[in-house]
Each structure stands twice: as C-alpha cells, then as structure tokens.
Amino acid sequence: MSNKKIFKWVVGTTLTAASILTLAACGSSKKDDAGSDKASADLPDLGDRYEIDKTKPAWQLDTKKDETELTWYVNADWWNTEFGKDLVTKKVKEDLNINIKFVTGDDTKLNTLFAGGDMPDIVTIFDSNSQVARKAESWALPLQDLADKYDPYFYDVAAKDTLNWYKLSDGKSYGYPDYSNTADDYSSGQIYSRDAFIIRKDVYEAIGKPDMSTPEGFEKAMKDIKAQFPDLIPFGFNDFAADGTSNGSMDSVLQDRLGVPYLTEDGKYNDRNLDEDYLTWIKAFRQVRQDGNISDDTFTDDGDKFKEKLSTGKYASIMIGSFVNQGIALQTFAAANPDSQYIAVDGIMSTKGNEPTLTQAGISGWMINYISKNAKDPAKAIQVFTYLLSDEGQMLTNYGIKGETYEDAGDGKVKFTEETRNIQLNEPEKFQKDYRIGEFIQFGHDRYKALSDESYVDAVKQMQEWGEGKLTPQFATENIGPEAASAESRSLSAITTNWSTTLVGMLRSGSDDDADALLAQYKTFQEQNNIDGINKVRNEKIAENEKKLGN
C-alpha cells in the first residue's frame, strides 16, 4: 500500500436515513416474491461498437472513435486529481481512449452526491462496512452483469474469492477493492509481513544476542541495554493516536506476534485484549517501564516524533507495526549507520507456545471501487476495471512502460532503468509529478511489488524475510463491527476509547495489582456498555463471513 498517505479507517458514515432513501431511489429496482429489493441493471446494448470476446479484454476491441469522459469520485481529499499529464495516466488515457475527471471529497460531500442524485460514473470509498457499501445494489451496477454484457475478460483478471466476498444478498458483486489478499495470496510467498520486533544490530551483539522470547529474558535484556547504552531508549513502540482510535503496536500487532486467536475454539469472537498470554506481556512491559526502560514520551509522541527517533536510532529495540510505512526513517538510519541498522529477531514470543500469526491487508482490501447506475458509458467503465486489474495495467501503474522506465532483471523480476531509478531516489517530486509510478492504486496489489527488488527500501528486507511463513489470514473477523449509528456501534466506540485509556494506564501503573484493578474496571465498563449485544452482532457477522468463504 502506498506509504505516502496515512488514512484512518472510517468507523461510521454520515449518510442519514433520508439520503439513503434518496440514494435507493436513484436506480431502478424490483421486488422478488419475498419482498426484497434486487438490483435490475438496465444496460444499453453495444450495437456494432464491438463484439465481445472472452479471450480478449474489451478495451482492445472497442471501436468507439470519440474519447469517453468519465467522472471518478474518490472519497479522499488527498487524492491526486491530475489525469493524462504524467507517464502512467497518459498511457491509461491513450490505451482506453478516455479522459477521467477526478473529483475528491469527504463523507459530507459523498452524502451530498447521493442526496442530489447526480452520481459520477465511478465511485471509490474506503469503508466496506458502511451503509454506502451495504446498500450498493441501490446505486451501483453489478459487476457480473457488466462483465457478461461488455467485458467477460474481467473474470480472468478479477479474483473469484474477492468477488464472492463482495456479493450482496442478491448474489451479485458491486464493488471491487485494491489490496485484497485472498488465501492463495497469503500462501503464495508474494506478499510480505509488515510487523516485527526489531533491535539495533550493534546493541543486539553488544548485549550478547540474548534470548528475549520470554518476559524474564526480555526484562533482563532491557536492563542490559540501559547499562551499556544509557543514551538510548531501550524499548519503544508505534505512536498511540491522540483520539484513542489506535494503540500503536501494543494491542493487535502485539497479539498477532503472540499468536493470540481471533476466534474461540467453537468459532466465536475472541476478546483478544483479555487474553492471558497477552496480559502477561503487558505486565512485563509495565515492569520494563517501571525500571525506567520505556520513556514516558513514548505514550505522547506523535507519528512524526516516532519517525524522527527511528531515523536517528534513538530506540534500541521496537515492537514495530507497518515497518514498510516507516521505511524512509529506517533507511535513513541504516544508510548513516550500516553496522547499527535495525534487524528483526525472535523476541517477544508466546508464553504458551503459540506461533506468530501475522496479518496483512485482508480480503476486504482498502479502496473499494463501484460503477454507478448513472454511468454514461458503462461499457467503458468496466473496461477501466479490467485494464487496471490486468497484468498490463498493474505493470504500468507499478513500474511504468517497459523499455522506457523498467526492464527485465532475470528470474521473472524487473528493475527500473538507470535513469528512472536515479530520478526515484534523487528527485522524488519529479518522480511523483512526471511518472506517478506506484500511486495510481485503486486496483493495486502487493504481489506485483514482489516482482522488483526495488519496491522496498533495503532496510526492511531482512524484516520481511523474518516474517516469511508467519502470515495467517483472518478473513472471518473482517468488518464484523455493528452497523454505523446503531446503539451497539455507539457502545463499541465508547469501549474502544476506554480500552485505549486502560491500556496506557496498565503500562504506566506502579504495580501488577494496580494494572489488575484497571483491567477489572475495564471489564465492568464493557458490561455496562452492552458488550454481550456487541458480541452477538460480531458472531452473526462472523457466521456470514464464514459462509462467504465457503467454510
């Protein structure tokens, strides 16, 4: 996923009940005998424009002479709205004979579009659990209908499991995401882990490469670091969000490291925050902090401050989440201190013998793309989807044009040309403006990054190697939160905020007894805020997900 933008997953949606009704009225629908609404795609015929061919993408067959203009709404103000000027989008424009007018905004603007009924041709959102996504049949066209009528080659480039995941109650799929990893992707070896326990190489060697897999061994190692490297912070972790929406790498990232199960033995939701193994390590970190080996600043530093300390090697060791997103800081330190660079090691492991179950982007992906019922040229719109999902589109968006910006590197891999690589490394603004390689990501996928050794900075490659064989999909627990604006959703928001406060309090408490008291208060807060009702919703959605997955 692009490292250039940091996006907070949307917990709720601003769409009101009235605008959902307006949204539903925008497209045609019919009732089946059971009384449920089902989308009815009234698609225009192709005429003599081209004959579909299952063996060829429709964009290669389309004989339409006039350039098609499509409006594409992206629900993110940071999206680059330029089209046709940089190398990547200029090639898209040329190959597909289109001009794309990008429009950006936030949930409020998206709400306004729906309420007004003036929908763009293509819509990209970020929350697959939102009402917008769950009601897609009322405003978007089914991808299967579009593919059948205009571009059956779409089925060759779209992942079947991803399409099934996005099917609604009518059995059709309306959205298609980027960075959707299927079970096959997880087992392919073409996507990499992103979380690790890392330590400066010079520090690790100086303290004798100790066993830090147990709480006792870890606590002793932190004391040894403090004694030998008094100017360093022995242990750090990703920044906590000021609004309580993220606890850095100290809950889910740590829990994955310890292999804490996502589900109970009978397939129900498991509250990982209350796991005994996890809480044992939280108390170990509490002791490390009491020993003076976790800086209090770590709890208040923002992301920029974290990266600053990372780039100067201020932390001796770190429980780090999404190290690729910290790649520039890690590479900055490694380049200046090659004998001291951070490496991943086997520290912080389960006290129960569980293996790490690291995660990556799940099957839900990130940006979800739809073709609206207002699409002026639905045939061209599905061609855009097929093109960007295909090897041709993926190689273009990730590496540019063969022979011009990249070339074969042997063993099935590619590399940038010397000129392109030089601009990438030394003129990043020019690379972004003139090339836009790696940024046109609505249909991106990590497996294409595996085709080049230049996709990631050198500083993270050893960390990726450490994570090989440790990725474990957790698709069943994706998008299991309560519906936005429901009573359960409001309760869960309160519980989430309370947990963040509780976790920080436990880590900073003066004794294990004090930590236990805070945890007891949190459990009471859960009960007072209908945790049973929330878990009932979660378990219902887990069952739905298992059905989608064919389990």
By C-alpha distance, which of 287, 280, 310 is closest to 298? Answer: 310
pLDDT band at residue 4 using 50, 70 and 90 as cut-offs: very low
Residue given tokens 């290669």 in the structure block: 60
Whether 5 has a pLDDT exceeding 60, the answer reads: no
Percent pLDDT > 70 in the chain is 93
pLDDT band at residue 131 using 50, 70 and 90 as cut-offs: confident
Let me know: does 349 contact 258? Beta carbons within 8 Å.
yes
Mean pLDDT confidence for 89-99: 98
Which residues are CB-contacts of 59 (< 8 A; sequence separation ≥ 6)? 95, 96, 151, 383, 386, 387
Query: What is the rounded distance in angstroms from the CA atom of residue 23 to the CA atom of residue 25?
Result: 5
Mean pLDDT confidence for 367-372: 97
Greater model confidence, 208 or 244 = 208
Which of these ranges, 104-118, 144-158, 199-213, has the smallest mean pLDDT? 104-118
pLDDT band at residue 158 using 50, 70 and 90 as cut-offs: very high
Which of these ranges, 47-61, 259-273, 291-305, 415-429, has the smallest mean pLDDT? 415-429
Integer angstrom CA distances of residue 451 from 407, 461, 462: 11, 14, 17
Question: What are the sequence ranges of the domains in the chain?
Answer: 480-551
List own/partner pairs for 127-131 with CB under 8 A and 24 or more apart. Answer: 127/9, 127/10, 127/13, 128/166, 128/175, 128/177, 128/364, 128/365, 128/368, 128/479, 129/479, 129/481, 129/484, 130/10, 130/12, 130/13, 130/15, 130/484, 131/13, 131/15, 131/20, 131/483, 131/484
Predicted local confidence at residue 114, as pLDDT: 86
Give 194's DSSP letter: -
Query: What is the rounded distance in angstroms from the CA atom of residue 367 to the CA atom of residue 124?
Result: 6
**pLDDT tens for each residue of 285-304:** 999 999 999 999 999 999 99
Predicted local confidence at residue 41, as pLDDT: 65
Which of these ranges, 3-7, 62-66, 182-186, 192-196, has the smallest mean pLDDT? 3-7
Greater model confidence, 456 or 272 = 272
Q: Sheet with 68-74: list strands edge to edge.
A: 98-104, 68-74, 122-125, 368-371, 175-177
pLDDT band at residue 456 using 50, 70 and 90 as cut-offs: confident
Let me know: does 203 contact 317? Beta carbons within 8 Å.
yes
Which residues are CB-contacts of 135 (< 8 A; sequence separation ≥ 6)? 20, 23, 24
Which residues are CB-contacts of 402 (< 8 A; sequence separation ≥ 6)? 395, 414
Let me know: does 201 contact 340? Beta carbons within 8 Å.
yes
**pLDDT tens for each residue of 225-264:** 999 999 999 999 999 988 777 899 999 999 999 999 999 9
**pLDDT tens for each residue of 163-203:** 999 999 999 999 999 999 999 999 888 899 999 999 999 99
Rounded mean pLDDT of the chain?
91
Predicted local confidence at residue 19, as pLDDT: 39
Whether 492 has a pLDDT exceeding 80, the answer reads: yes
Residue given tokens 């013998």 in the structure block: 353
